[in-house]
Amino acid sequence: MNWSNLLLQFFLCYVSTVCFGILLNIPKRAYHTAGMIGGGVWVVYWIMYYCSGIGLAFSNLVAAILISVLSQAAARRKRMPIIVFNVPALVPFVPGGQAYKMVRNFAIGNYHLVTVYFYQVVVIVGAITLGFGLGELLNRVLNYLHKYLLKKSRWNF
């Protein structure tokens, strides 16, 4: 694991997240936060998938959960909708390269590679969808526990 490579990965993902946020016309005060979420989660994904050898599905699942949880926290802190942070941070994880290779190999007639890339696209999209759902569930459970523990404690803070 090369630290300069991780820093470069973070920076490029930060820039791509902010640029996509600009294309989506999110508020300017959300650029930095969305970029930090996108870059930070990408570094976690990069370490899990490329450095640790953890599988594609689990790496994308953890990344989607982190995006969901961090976006929820940022949305509460900045008093903005969660989608302002979710969508730009999700951009680096979209399997556009695999989808392009799938269509290209389909046009060429190389059907074995079409099934390989189709499988990758389905796994990545499924992991992202499941991760967003689990992240939302985790946010609701933590919120409920926080309210429940505050209500049941002797000392209300």
| DSSP notation for 10-53 | HHHHHHHHHHHHHHTT--GGGHHHHHHHHHHHHHHHHIIIIIS-
Spatial CA neighbour of 89 closest among 5, 33, 25: 33
pLDDT digits (tens, 9 = 90+) for 104-121: 999 999 999 999 999 999
The Cα 64–Cα 53 span in angstroms is: 18
Q: pTM surpassing 0.75? A: yes
Given a contact cutoff of 8 angstroms between Cβ atoms, the answer to whether 60 and 131 are in contact is yes
pLDDT of residue 156: 58
Residues in the chain, pLDDT under 70: 1, 154-157
- The tens digit of pLDDT for each residue in 85-105 reads 999 999 999 999 999 999 999
